[in-house]
Amino acid sequence: MYFTTNSFISTKNLLAIFITAGLVFQSCSSDFLDVPPQAKEEAEAFFVTQDDATKAVNSIYANLRVWNQVAFAAIAIESVPADEAEKGSSPGDATFFNNFDNFTYTASEGQIQDFWTGQYQSINLCNQVIENIPPINMDANLKARYIAEAKFVRAYNYFRLVRAFGDVPLRLSLPKSNVDFNIPRTPKEQVWAAIEQDLTDAASVLPPNYPATDVGRVTKGAALALHAKVAMYQKKWNDVLNYTNQVMGLGYSLFPNFEALFRIANENSTESVFEIQCQSLPGIQGASNSQYSQVQGVRAQSGGGWGFNVPTEALVDAFEADDPRKDATIIFRGETTPEGDAVAPTGDNPRYNQKSYVPFTVPFKQNEGEDQNIRVIRYAEVLLMNAEAANELGNSPQALTSLNAVRERARGGNAAILPDVTTTNQDQLRNAIYHERQVELAMEFDRFFDVIRQGRGFAVFSTKGFKEGKNELMPIPQNEIDKSAGALTQNIGYN
Amino acid sequence: MKRLFTHSLFGIVLCFLFVNFALAQNAITVSGKVTDAQGLGLPAVSVSVKGTNKGTQTNAEGSFSLQASVGNTLVFSYLGFQTKEVQVTGSTLNVQLIETSTALEQVVVIGYGVQKKLDVTGAVAQVKGEEISKQSVPNAVSALQGKVAGVQITNSGSAGTSPQIRIRGLGTVYGDANPLYVVDGTWYNDIGFLNPSDIESINILKDASSTAMYGVRASNGVVLITTKRGKGDTRITYNGYVGLQTINNTIKMANASQYATLINELNNTPTFANPDAFGNGTDWMTAVTRNSFTTNQYLTVSGGSEKSSYNFSIGYFGQGGNVEKNQYDRITARLQNDILATKFLKIGYNAILENKKSTDVPDDIIYKAVTAAPVVPVRYADGSWGDPADYPVGNVPSNPALQLDVFTQESKGRRITGSAFAEFYIVKGLTFKTNFGAEYNEIDRRTYNPVYNYDTELGAATHTQYNQISLLTINQDENNNWIWENTLTYEKTLDKHRFTLLGGLSAQRYKNYFIEGSARNVPNSTSGDIYLALGDNDTRTLKDGGDLSTAQSYFGRINYVYNDKYLLNASFRADGSSKFSQDDKWGYFPSVGIGWVISREEFMKKFDFINELKIRGSWGIVGNSGIQTNISTLTVDQKPEFTAVFGGLPYTGANITSIVPPVLVWERGNGTDFAIEGAFMNNRLTAELDWYNRTTERAIFPIPVLTSLGTTSSQLIGNQADIRNRGFEFSLGWKDGNKSNFTYSLNANLSINNNKVTNVESGENPIYAGGDAATGGQLSTITVQGEPIGQFYGLVVDGIFQNDAEVAASAQPDASPGDFKYHDKDGNGIIDARDREVIGNPNPKYMYGINTSFAYKAFDLAVDFQGVAGVDIYNANKGVRFGSENYSEDFYNNRWHGAGTSNSYPSANVGGGQNYVPNSWYVENGSYFRIRNIQLGYTFDTKLISKWKMQKVRVYVNAQNPITFFSYTGFNPEVGTAKNDVGGTPKTINTGIDRGVYPLYATYNFGLNVTF
């Protein structure tokens, strides 16, 4: 009644078109709803080519310099508890560091969680490589080396975990299903064993050195040196001696100028055994992300930094008379650095860490000092480990040779200072080596756990509030315990 | 269809008229005008002579003319208005029709159609456009606050930010908790672009049976918005107001000498030698905030005939932010046009254009202002900036006035959106409609950080706030969405059976693309400089990304009414979404509703005070696809932070840093609703009571996973829990319009909601969340079976340690006097995580609104009240401290500062020791009561203004949010979904945690409405 014949037909046609269109939708519905992720590669397509393997290994190296590995968390866990360092900055800023300085920290401290997270995030990157690279069809030698590099980093992260927490969840493979998500702590003996296995594997594959374009990758020397340190923490003195002897045969040497050793110009020097590469990278903002130097830089000074983790009076006093390493390790308020920076005579802190110091005039894109590499293992430490192992095994001549090599370099040609150690009394020599480690490796995030593994925690730190039987280990982060619903237990004294 | 129908009726009526003309005795020509309450002519009103079949319709101006005899009764009827009978006494008869006072006779919009409220079996609430445009709010959603039972609106004080809306409680944690907005058939996530004055009505579908037609987008309710369409004579309307906007309820902070005292106590050393010498110092809130002006100008031209209608409008909204420099400007335009092209084809379109611009301020500026040290001046006498480094306060806090001064960011947005449709009337009752809606919008933001160097330019910066090299960042974000829907509707009345059948299909596509670039050392001497091209070559960065999802649906519905008494509505929808994994793409959503109009039964006729009474019940299943796309596809993380350096050169890195849920399925909502509604006492009293039970089954939750997995996110998404919201909604309205010169209405609504987690996948193990910067990194909420979702969880404060002896004797040997003394719940002599308990509930239990309007002669007055009760807030701002931040005056007055000074407030070291861990001291009552809106208007006499060709002139004054009563010590108790940190992204799971919430503002306006 509403349509002329013609219009009705045209309507019918139109309707047919729309209904057909609807049917077309239906027939191709599987395509229409099949949408790939945008701007993200699907994981299925990754770990297929050699290039993928390369990128994955690169991520492991890059991740070593991120905030939760090198900045606040490392300061809180590995530096401030020691007698050589304290919070710094201004009194009201980041006061939680004081809890670590005076041993009142609890399992709820954010920095403990951050430290834990940082290590495990790195371990995941390594596990991805170790598990996913083997099936890739690629250069066999390169494949073996990539896996060895990942194993080294994994061992390094587990080393940092086990000495801080003792038993920790040990993940050597990727989780396959929900049951792998929540695993309990593995006894520390097994963690140490896993670390040693990784380092043994790595040292057997890694080359002693690389062409210039690959400088910064981990070497055989790095794997041996870290293995020596791992053995030293377990008092396996024969192993320490063995591994350090091997490193000493690889052509490393001490860099003559102790102060200059820590400057950008002398990165990856002959003394460098393992060094985290940090670079100011114009045009790649996110990659210029090391804040290691920034957080420790001279406070309230343009080009300086935030001024955390500052040397204590105790460290100043620890140096022998006229030891040049004191001035090379500590920036004193009011001094002019060898690079010509005048440090203001007033300010919140009398001292700053000079080993992380980057001259104020060095340009940066994101963070002050983003260019500074982080020296993790130096040849000097290899010598000191060698000396300690030799002494523990009763070989004082070798111990003295290695120890005095370090002192000789520190002397800088000035025969009037830092005389050679001559004692062959094992206890005296042990103490001399301990002392040498304190001053040689000062402000290099080694002191606290070094004293703990020497069994002297209470003796050295009790005046700061250290409680024996408790503070040798950090508490497991409370959030982890909550999330584990009982699978994770707490360390003694923290609950 | 309706129009066609009336059109032909009109013809038939005319025929009868001619016949009757000859027969009429003593007939005179009666003519006049039918107007609405505002005096505007009503077109197409049916006018008939009672007891005859004589009748006509009013024309476009509302005028009519017909033959009748003196003594005859004329019946005026029009949909949505009360039918009126008037006796003929002479040749002129002007009639004013009053809108139907019973809500049940009103027509409400439901999904893909309209229904009389009486025929509806679900919970649908309608708010008229004039209710919305009466309030001076930039976003229409905000105007709904307190208007509708069960709808919670949480406002934000920052200019241009859309309010948060929750319908019937929080039903999802991970997914989008906002409702779906449908504007004239096109789907949106947000309607911030819509000028409130363009809205004809807002219909809120609350229960699952009503929303099931929107399937997978329906679980949080659906808000249907109909925009104005032209009708009748060409009409030009102007609405405008100007107003003053002022912050209310600011937090009173400690003054300089109080601050110095507190810092001395914090540092436990006389950092400030003589605190009293500082006096009041700087009030930083005053330094960075201001009273500002807001203005709204709106002009519309509209009209229509049987064949076509049009409505063109243009609006300008300008809002000065209460933070200095902050400015928001928006221009909107709308073009609407419907044309009945042939008898069987109607086409039309509705296009909305929006252009907005804002001068932004730092996200955290209010936070910085309240925490800034009052001992530091804004500027020194020589004009240089007050430098916190000159005072022993460290670099936290900073100088917020300097921060604001150098912050340079401008955002611009453009949007074109709308829909076009065609309706084919195939045979009587059968209509095919195709509707294509699309949206394109683009936002670009330019942020410029200029050089302000302490060393080089004296006084240009402070010791800790400087920038040596400029940085320009440009962000562009565009969205390109479309929806195409085809429906076939068949309406039929057979004797006492009335039914509507609907079938349809829909396809949708949502695409987002963003690109961000930056460069350093860009000059900024003219506006032509702000280009990345002018930056240093080696500093340019670029990144982009995007998102794409599609959906496809089939749906059908039957509405059946028997004898106008028995109601049945049933629907079914199948939805496919690209967001889910292959086997779980499709979801199916049925619904059914039944109703019984008891008042139409014979046995009810004797209760003459009951005009309408209906009981109804409904059930439906709905879904929620408001999660990120491709959530169960594992992807590769390739980011600049993964760039390795070897030999000094960069090498790209990538790796897998996440885990994804193996299977993820729809969040399924299951809703039941029972209600009784009615109109009583000559329709003056209306009442509605709803009981609802809304469950979200297999709710998608981010479960915190152990960090030892090493993933970047410490959460794994999965179907983890069942959540239930159950409650009552009660609405009561009273309207009396029969007294001469005086009419008034009172409406009140109350909702009671109980939120409960009924099942957790992890069984007895609770889900912990909220571990963000706001809570010192501590997990601060707990979700456990049998309890409300996301309750605050922490230690209970028993008091304050007064001295060392108390500390030594306590379970907290490391504490200091002035620290919180925690309750040792398990009594084991140690305070640890096992002593935590539930310390508050962020889910509001009661919401209410009271809306009143009065009209006396030419004056009209509307006063609205609104409130929330039974809710807790976690005031995280009190405990997050990085250095020498300022404290509130309340804290100063009540703090512990020596034995016996306080047993409720801690010492100045509130952010240190173990005082910052989540505990009961931070939990406060979040209840409030607000005077939402007061408006007083005066309408000029028509005689006075008609010589200027004006039909109506009204002036008004208005106060929006003038007073809020609450006990909460933060800025305002409307916290909503909190950000995890100042300037961070809001997370639903952190609801109720206050971290850097903006203060709210009141606006006082003067406005003018003119109709030509």
DSSP B910-921: TTSTTTSSSBGG
Q: Chain A: nearest CA to B405, how far in angstroms?
A: 21
- Predicted local confidence at residue B619, as pLDDT: 95
In Å, how far are A146, B114, B218, B402 from B570, measured between CA atoms?
A: 63, 15, 16, 62
The predicted pLDDT at position B697 comes to 87
SS3 A103: coil
Q: What DSSP line would sit under A121-180, residue for residue?
A: HHHHHHHHHHHHSTTS-S-HHHHHHHHHHHHHHHHHHHHHHHHHHSSB----S---SGGG
Residues in a beta bridge with A336: A342
* CB < 8 Å to A167, chain B: none
Looking at domain A46-205+468-489, which of 3.90.245.10, 1.25.40.890, 1.20.1440.230, 1.10.10.10 is its CATH number?
Answer: 1.25.40.890
Are B246 and B1001 in contact, with CB atoms under 8 Å apart?
Answer: yes
Q: Quick one: average pLDDT of A31-44? A: 83
Q: Is the pLDDT assigned to residue B714 strictly greater than 50?
A: yes
Q: How far is B923 from chain A (nearest CA, A)?
A: 19
Which residues of chain B are within 8 Å of residue A284 when distances are taken between CB atoms?
A: 541, 640, 643, 650
Residues on chain B touching A132 (C-beta within 8 angstroms): 656
pLDDT digits (tens, 9 = 90+) for A364-404: 877 899 999 999 999 999 999 999 999 999 999 999 999 99
Q: Which of A2, A25, A93 has the CB atom closest to B882's CB atom?
A: A93
Q: How far is CA B957 from CA B38, B243, B309, B933, in A?
A: 18, 9, 33, 11
Residues B708-718, mean pLDDT to the nearest whole number: 83
CA–CA distances in Å: residue B347 to residues A9, A289, A352, B416, B606: 19, 58, 77, 20, 48
Angle at B75 between CA B72 and CA B76, to 5 degrees: 140
pTM: 0.78
Q: Check whether A161 has a pLDDT greater than 70.
A: yes
Amino acid at A85: A
Render pLDDT for B991-1012 as a digit per residue (tens, 0 to 9): 788 877 778 888 999 999 998 8
Residue A474 DSSP SS3 = coil
Taking CA–CA distances from B470, the nearest residue in chain A reads A365
pLDDT in tens, B490-520: 998 888 898 999 999 999 999 999 999 988 8
Q: Which residue in this structure is represented by tokens 């866990």?
A: A77
State the pLDDT at residue B840. 92
Contact B80, B107 (CB under 8 A): yes
Q: Tell me the pLDDT tens digit for each residue of B746-799.
A: 999 999 999 888 887 766 667 777 666 566 667 788 888 888 888 899 999 999
Question: What is the domain partition of chain A in residue ranges?
Answer: 46-205+468-489
**Residue B145 carries which DSSP code?**
T
Question: Bigger pLDDT: B779 or A231?
Answer: A231
Higher pLDDT, B39 or B977: B39
Give the mean pLDDT of B600-604.
87
Pair of tokens at residue B862? 């509307």
3-state percent breakdown (helix, strand, coil) of chain B, nearest 5: 15, 50, 40
Q: Would the CB atoms of B706 and A66 count as touching at under 8 Å?
A: no
pLDDT band at A44 (very low <50, low <70, confident <90, very high): confident
pLDDT band, residue A16 (cuts 50/70/90): low
Average pLDDT score over residue span B231-249? 89
Chain B nearest-CA distance from A478, in A, is 7
The answer to whether B202 and B224 are in contact (CB under 8 A) is yes
**According to the model, what pLDDT value does residue A452 have?**
97
Q: Is B359 left (phi over 0), alpha (psi -120 to 50) or beta?
A: beta
Look up residue B133 and give its two tokens: 């445009």
The CA distance from B200 to B183, in Å, is 11
Mean pLDDT, residues B592-601 taken together = 92
What is the rounded distance in angstroms from the CA atom of residue B816 to the CA atom of residue B915?
10
- Token pair in block for residue B253: 């902070």
> Domain B2-96 sits in which CATH superfamily?
Carboxypeptidase-like, regulatory domain (2.60.40.1120)
Amino acid in position B232: G
Taking the domains of chain B in order of start, what are their residue ranges?
A: 2-96, 103-235
Average pLDDT, chain B: 85
Non-local CB neighbours of B847 within 8 Å, separated by 6+ positions: B149, B150, B152, B750, B751, B753, B867, B868, B869
Instruction: For residue range B282-341, list pLDDT tens digits in order.
Output: 999 999 999 999 999 999 999 988 788 999 999 999 989 889 999 999 999 999 999 998
Give B710 to chain A, closest Cα distance, Å.
4
Taking 60 as the threshold, does the pLDDT of residue B370 lie above it?
yes
Q: Across the interface, which of B344, B454, B644 has its CB nearest the CB of A62?
A: B644
Residue A228: its H or E element: helix A220-233
Q: Is the pLDDT of residue A244 over 80?
A: yes
Highest-confidence segment of A119-133, B623-637, B699-713, B929-943: A119-133
Q: Across all residues in chain A, what is the average pLDDT?
A: 92
Task: Give the number of C-alpha atoms closer than 13 A to the C-alpha of residue A222, restricted to the C-beta side.
Answer: 30
More confident: B773 or A31:
A31
Pairing state between β B586-597 and B952-966: unpaired
More confidently predicted of B725 and B738: B725
Residue corresponding to tokens 């210029």: A288
CATH number of B103-235: 2.170.130.10
At B308, list the tokens.
């076509």
- A182 vs B344, B395, B706: nearest CB: B706
pLDDT of residue A29: 52
Residues of B in Cβ contact (< 8 Å) with A277: 644-646
Look at residue B573 in the predicted model and tell me its pLDDT. Answer: 93
Task: Compute φ and ψ for B918, nearest 5 degrees.
Answer: -50, 125
At B903, the pLDDT band (50, 70, 90 cuts) reads: very high
Which of B87-101, B283-297, B865-879 is predicted least confidently? B87-101
In this predicted model, what pLDDT tens digit does every residue of B38-56 receive, in sequence order?
677 787 788 888 888 788 8
pLDDT at residue B458 is higher than 60: no
Q: Cα separation of B643 and B628, whole Å?
A: 27
User: Which residues in A lie closer than 8 A to residue B834 (C-beta atoms)?
Assistant: 495
Give the amino acid at B660: V
- Residue A20: the pLDDT is 59
pLDDT for position B703: 73
φ, ψ (nearest 5 deg) of residue B897: -145, 50
The encoded tokens of residue B335 equal: 């073009």
User: What pLDDT digit, counting tens, does each position of B124-143 carry?
Assistant: 888 888 888 777 777 888 88
Give the pLDDT confidence score for residue B15 in this predicted structure: 38
| Cα distance between residue B304 and residue B290, in whole Å | 46
Using the predicted structure, report yes or no on whether residue B457 has a pLDDT greater than 70.
no
Residue B238 CB neighbour total at 10 angstroms: 15
Subunit contact A281:B643, Cβ cutoff 8 A: yes
Give the strand pairing for B846-856 and B859-869. Answer: antiparallel
Instruction: Give contacts of A92 with chain B, Cβ < 8 Å.
Output: 263, 266-267, 393-394, 396, 881-884
Determine the 3-state secondary structure of B363 from DSSP: coil
Share of chain A above pLDDT 70, in %: 94
Verify whether the Cβ–Cβ distance B643 to A478 is below 8 Å: no
- Surface-to-core class of residue B785, CB atoms within 10 Å of its CB (0-12 exposed, 13-18 middle, 19+ buried): middle
- Closest chain B C-alpha to A356 CA, distance in angstroms: 19
Query: What number of other Cβ atoms are within 10 A of residue A416's Cβ?
Result: 8
- pLDDT score of A72: 96
Are the C-beta atoms of residues B137 and B958 closer than 8 Å to each other? Answer: no
* B917: nearest CA partner in chain A: A108
3-state secondary structure labels for all residues of B509-569: EEEEEEEEEEEECCCCCCHHHCCHHHCCHHHCEEEEEEEEEEEEEEEEEEEEEECCCEEEE
Q: Give me the pLDDT at residue A18, please.
A: 59
Q: The dihedral of CA B147, B148, B149, B152: what is its sign?
A: negative
Sign for the CA dihedral angle at B304, B310, B311, B312 comes to negative
Place of tokens 């199916």: B588
pLDDT, tens digit (0-9, with 9 covering 90-100), for B667-678: 888 999 999 999
Question: CA–CA separation, B717 vs B700, rounded Å?
Answer: 7
Higher-scoring residue by pLDDT: B981, A332: A332
Band of residue B16 on the pLDDT scale cut at 50, 70, 90: very low
In B379-429, beta strands by DSSP E: 408-427
d(CA A315, CA A323): 12
Q: What is the largest CA-CA distance in chain B?
A: 111
The first and second tokens of residue A301, run together, are: 């000074």
